[in-house]
Amino acid sequence: MLRNFFIIFLFSVILFSCENKFQPPKTDYNKSEIPDQESWNSSVVFSDSGKIKAILKAGHISVYNALNYTLIDSGAVVDFYKDGEIVSTLTGKRGKVLEPSKDIEMYDSVIVVSNKDNTTVNTQKMYWNNKLQKVSSDAFVKIKSPKEDIEGYGFESDQNLKNYKIYKVTGILDK
């Protein structure tokens, strides 16, 4: 009798210990929270009809296909091109590329510099519209050009920083 009990007990232990052994562990992650692709120290070229419009260089890029965007962090630099030459450079700590428009949002210590006259825009948030080839911000901005220093809330310009508008101006200093 003791022998039968021992055999049943041993059989039960073996049977129940193997019950969930080959099933993957369950997680609480939503599939859209996990990137489809990741890359480090990468460059992305934005082009139209074979002409380069911009080149993005970033420390870390995470692509989320289901959410239609790509996250950029660990620092980013975007060089904007016109007729094959760099016209301005946008830098920031982190950002987002929106699909399928290829518009770029950049955040944290954002600086845009015109290569022609060294006009510089400083802000915490900047948006680049790929179709219109314009940059804009609804945050506080500081613009320093060879002719003036301006501060205000809200900004819009061509990507060359040649024709810009600043809204809600808070200070002007003529040089």
Strands, E assignment, the chain: 37-48, 51-64, 69-82, 85-92, 94-98, 103-114, 120-129, 134-144, 148-158, 164-166, 169-174
DSSP 53: E
What does pTM read for this prediction?
Answer: 0.75
Maximum distance among all Cα pairs of the chain, rounded to whole angstroms: 104
Domain parsing of the chain, residue ranges: 34-174
Q: pLDDT of 104-125, one tens digit each? A: 899 999 999 998 888 899 999 9
Q: pLDDT of 13-54, one tens digit each? A: 666 665 555 666 666 777 777 899 999 999 989 888 888 988
Pair of tokens at residue 52: 């380069």
Residue 42 bridge partners (DSSP): 58
What DSSP line would sit under 13-24, residue for residue? HHHHHTTTTTSP
The CATH class of 34-174 is: mainly beta
